[in-house]
Amino acid sequence: MPSMVAEIISVGTELLLGQIVDTNAAYLAMQMANLGIDVYRKTVVGDNLDRATTAIAEALERADIVLLTGGLGPTEDDITRDAIAKVINEPLIEHAEIAEQLRQRMARRRGHYGVSTLRQALLPASAQPIPNPVGTAPGILVERNGKLIIAMPGVPTEMKAMFEEHVRTILQKHTANMEAIIVSRVLRCIGIGESALTERIGDLIAAQVNPTIASLVTQGEVWLRLTAKAQSEDDARKIIAPVERAIRERVGEYIFGVDDESMERIVGDLLRERGWTIAIAESCTGGLIADTLTNVPGSSAYVKGAVVAYTDAVKH
């Protein structure tokens, strides 16, 4: 079965203004990779009905699954449910069970909820509600012509709880015949720039199919991300292995770790293996080196202590 493609749409003007960082899209992209679902686009759209409607309609043309976060609250600028209804040309209908749950919650916490809370019970006519384990706004599930539209709350704790308890299962059932997962392995390099690194493996990058090779720069490091798709994690890692070996043959002296192996963890492991300890005297770094080394659990086995001598008077 061909790969399924998902698109992620984050709804909220606050995201466009930079007032909130969109961690939801990053979380959902990682979950899609774990499920073997390709993500080629992520979109951010403000609280505008026409633009949100266009974004959903265009995503539905390109993708098999459209995931939305945000815009499901009780206020008039929470427009995700309205936009979905407009795309599929259905009216919003009050879901009786959800409305009753909201009324009961309003009764228990009088003064905390207004009448507009009931707006969260409105769903497109053919939609199914997705329970919200930790909040009031239910998610929305629409299936149309074999494609899915899934809307979740924008509050990260609510979105993650809904995904973990309900949406993952929905997607697993929808992709049951696909039998593919996406696995990535990151080679972390230091002491070489991105352009010099990619020049040395240029032919490998040019020939990439599965796995793919991508470079990215982080603070003080260059990462090479190898990503493979296969029917199992073991198969994916077997696909990655020969390409990783070829890369190590060319630039192995610059690779200090893989995946979550940070420089401070590698340094700590080497100190522990050799039975060495370390003490730090810092000035302009203001304790940064000591802080970095001691961020590793168990670092007290090799870090003896540190002194920050910042002014000339203290240094002498």
Residues 169 and 34 in one domain: yes
Question: What's the mean pLDDT in 281-285?
Answer: 92
The set of residues, in sequence order, having a beta carbon less than 8 Å from that of 144 and lying 6+ positions away, is 60, 88, 126
User: Does pLDDT of 130 surpass 70?
Assistant: yes
What is the distance between the alpha carbons of residues 217 and 225, in angstroms, rounded to a whole number? 11
More confident residue, 316 or 157: 157
Tell me the C-alpha to C-alpha distance, in Å, between residue 116 and each of 106, 121, 148, 151.
11, 10, 28, 20
pLDDT of 189-222, one tens digit each?
999 999 999 999 999 999 888 899 999 888 889 9
Question: What's the mean pLDDT in 57-70?
Answer: 97
pTM of the model: 0.71
Residues 66 and 141 in one domain: yes
Residues 151 and 188 in one domain: no
Residues 43 and 148 in one domain: yes
Task: Report phi then psi at 299, rounded to 5.
Answer: -65, -15
pLDDT of 18-29, one tens digit each?
999 999 999 999
Boundary of a domain, candidates 174, 190, 206: 174
Residues 97 and 212 in one domain: no
Residues 117 and 192 in one domain: no
CA Rg value for the chain: 25
Mean pLDDT of the chain: 91
Residues 37 and 156 in one domain: yes
Q: Which percentage of the chain shows pLDDT scores above 70?
A: 96
Q: For residue 281, what are the domain limits?
A: 263-315
Residues 12 and 38 in one domain: yes
Residues 61 and 150 in one domain: yes
pLDDT of residue 115: 61
Scan for tokens 């020969």, then name that residue. 242
Question: What's the mean pLDDT in 170-192?
Answer: 84
pLDDT of 31-63, one tens digit each?
998 888 899 999 999 999 999 999 999 999 999
Residues 147 and 235 in one domain: no
What is the distance between the alpha carbons of residues 55 and 308, in angstroms, rounded to a whole number? 53
Boundary of a domain, candidates 174, 206, 235: 174
CATH, residue 22: 3.40.980.10
* Domain total of the chain: 3
User: Does pLDDT of 16 surpass 50?
Assistant: yes
CATH, residue 190: 3.30.70.2860
Boundary of a domain, candidates 228, 258, 288: 258
Question: What's the mean pLDDT in 112-140?
Answer: 86
What is the distance between the alpha carbons of residues 109 and 179, in angstroms, rounded to a whole number? 46
